Structure 1
């Protein structure tokens, strides 16, 4: 990778850091990864594999629409080898580097079907955020052109993009409707490890009422589950531990 390309990539990273909107970030990111043949990308948190609401963790979906619908309708998320490996490593990797002998039948199916939608190879840049769990920035195409030495810089670009978009989402969430005092109380008990039955007994309400409050809390915080809601409420200083 020549010096001019390195300087250009560093300049793009700096532009992302100073961008003032989600659209500006995505425009810079899309142009930058396009220089390496990468045309489709997804920026997302990685909930537990069998979380049916996994798609709520997506920060930006730049996959081909038909592929996303296929991926979702076929229940590919729990079997996606890229997602699985990204949970276990902090290092960026290329799709073709995934060990074929460790891939399940369903995992191979995910990769084979991705190729049918023009995503024959790609890269994953795992992002591990304290209190929020793993995430990934993944990009792909039918033919990628990543020169030797470029992957660490592309990883830096991906990580900066993820954090910038996460920051914009957090800012939007801060102006949303705050939790009620009852919702904060209930979530505080959840944060202390109390079950739905425990909270029902403590507050003198039915379990259905507790579950209803949890649904309202998830909706307000745009959380995929109670644990995710606890993390978001902590960040908004709505509860304490």
Structure 2
């Protein structure tokens, strides 16, 4: 990962943490999304698919009023393929990655109508909250420009924002998890410098699967969703520096 991108992410997360209201945090978040062409943002939990009051789980509605009314009046929620995939997978995805051949006719209708309302492509970052069920941060527009390497950064930011606006995480990162071992800090320091697992394996003289094992332990200790998130959390705890 690039140091500049990581430092910008760190600064953005710090700004979100310092925001006095959820509205201010969302403004900061949406400013980042706009750089990638993403505009229509929705943050919501998922009740059971056929719950007619599904909109009670919405934390932030950044959809256009016209699209929201269409989505609700047509009963799209139980048939939304983005919602269905987000329930089952914790991995972020682009809308265009939904398998066209695997969509039901109603699912295809949801996506086609979204495109008519200026949401031709987008991203979904599923959030799986312990004991509280699945949720998602999703954003879209008529044309997006998200480089593949930016997805881990966006995912980290989405999860952090969700925790901020939902009140899921109230403790300081400094108080979370166990301290890292010297070897884990060393490995994470190299990850922060943009080194791949194969690079780190060569630098430290250990097997790649050992690097991956260390990374799993790091993510578990820091309650991180990916290695980028782990780097940010370690920076905030002063366990590593860049």
Distance 1:14 1:126 in 2: 22
Alignment of 1:189-208 (within 5 A): none
The equivalent residue for 1:226 is: none
Deviation at 1:2, TM superposition (A): 5.1
TM-score, L = length of structure 1: 0.67
Alignment of 1:1-241 (within 5 A): 3-167=3-167
Distance 2:78 2:42 in 1: 16
Deviation at 1:111, TM superposition (A): 0.3
Unaligned ranges ≥5, structure 2: 171-242
Deviation sequence 1:50-95 (CA, Å, 0-9, x none): 0111000000100111000000000000000000000000010000
TM-score, L = length of structure 2: 0.67
Report if the CA contact (8 A) 1:39-1:141 is conserved: yes
Unaligned ranges ≥5, structure 1: 171-241
Report if the CA contact (8 A) 1:95-1:121 is conserved: yes
Runs (4 or more) in structure 1 with deviation over 2 Å come to 1-7
Report if the CA contact (8 A) 1:40-1:141 is conserved: yes
RMSD value, Cα: 1.6
Distance 1:13 1:102 in 2: 37
Distance 1:148 1:6 in 2: 15
Deviation at 1:101, TM superposition (A): 1.4
Deviation sequence 1:166-220 (CA, Å, 0-9, x none): 019x9xxxxxxxxxxxxxxxxxxxxxxxxxxxxxxxxxxxxxxxxxxxxxxxxxx
Distance 2:80 2:165 in 1: 23
